[in-house]
Structure 1
Amino acid sequence: MYQEERMQLIMDHLTNSGRISIEEICNNFEVSRDTARRDLIKLEEQDLIVRTRGGALLPSPIQEFKNYKDRLVIVSDEKKQIGKLAAALVRKGDRIILDSSTTVQACAEFLHADPCTVITNSINSADSLSEKDSIHIRLLGGILHKEHRYVYGASVIEALSNYYVEKAFIGVGGVTKDGLSSDDEEGKVKRKMMEQAEMVIVLADHSKFGRNYFYRFADWSKVDVIITDQLPSASMMDFFEKHQVEVLVPETNEDQEVL
């Protein structure tokens, strides 16, 4: 089978299921892992997929939109890769919650689902999304944190009680086996956001692992997926498997080391 034919069949599979693993490509087409990776690299170069460590996702449809304003918050390349992969999980018509973390802000910048509805307490994310005509924004109202440009407080938590969404994207200050932690006011809002979602997706770069922040706002029973920039330790991977938390890592380096 020619590579072009195999790549088309891979895209057909992604259209039906939204994701594919290296193992599925090897088994379905009787090719080596190296051949499967080369197919995915070529598809990624054509902007048709988003590669993950171990496979690929079908990205949400991309549309033309106006140039963004200069961002008020600059995020690292690692957070951008996490945000790009997170945005690929959003499907057409989804209703989602985005919290106020900078990693989740990166998800907002890559979000192209047409259409979708976003509920957020982040001024920066709302500003970014305002450039995208097909994305409907519900900006929550409350006490403004001037330095970090998000709103919090009882009115935000009360407003969230009225929304039910398919996915919530949550950033963290710290990740340990005991749970997720952050500042207390942020954490109270994050906890409520997680309660209102069918699927909870945590975004955390490798520097957040092993850190305990001031306020623990959730345990792992509330989390469905975690997206990070490096594979966690073997012990942490075993922990995630035990708690049925799916781990997604952007495929940016074939030789990534575990934490």
Structure 2
Amino acid sequence: MNPDNIRIVLVNTSHPGNIGAVARAMKNMGLSRLCLVAPRQFPDEQATWRAAGALDVLEQAMVCDTLEEAIADCQFVVGTSARERRIPWPLLDPRQCAGHIAAASSREQVAVLFGREDRGLTNEELKLCNLHLNIPSDSAYSSLNLAMAVQIVCYELRMLQVADDLPVSADQDWDAPFSTVANMERFYEHLEKTLVAIGFLDPQAPRQLMVRLRRLYSRVRLDEMELNILRGILTETAKHVPRDG
């Protein structure tokens, strides 16, 4: 994937604040090429204010009069669409589509088109696209803010870009080794002894207390440091238990 070959194209954006928010969304996800097709208000202080730390993306944005001009040098064009078409067109969700965008960007110029806030891209504009992208929002309220829609697509691209750097599991690079079975058994013995001593566990009618506590700690997966902390608490607790005689 080559982020420098991917441009986000906004068509006839009506609110300048949305342009600034899109610039910020792009920079969050490592994209920098913004193209504006006949924006209603730009430059504008609202765009600058909403861009926050992404002013460089805003200042470098290309402004074109027509969509054809904006994508003239592109080999692969994706259009975001919520429309149902009489003639079927390749339609993918952002995660599926991100793979196609990333692959194409390694050797081609790619454009991802976002339409007007109130009605999206026209049918004529969608005909210029190789693929259509649809964000499967809830049918009860399917309208997405422009910057949010851009953020979703850019996020999926970012995930592909950093895939090799992400941890393969939640346990990767943990700061202490996880406790061994033998040490956990010593902990359960210590726990049971302490619960009996403080009167919380009746050894004559234990019910399922220890089984449930085993299930609890097994689900959590304690590391050795956490286990030592818990055993230290048990030891200190036992010091406050009255001794017979």
Identify which of structures 1 and 2 has the higher relative contact order when contacts are C-alpha pairs closer than 8 Å and 6+ apart: 2
- TM-score strictly above 0.5: no
Greater helix share, structure number: 2
The TM-score with structure 1 as length reference comes to 0.28
The TM-score with structure 2 as length reference comes to 0.29
Which one has a bigger Cα radius of gyration? 2
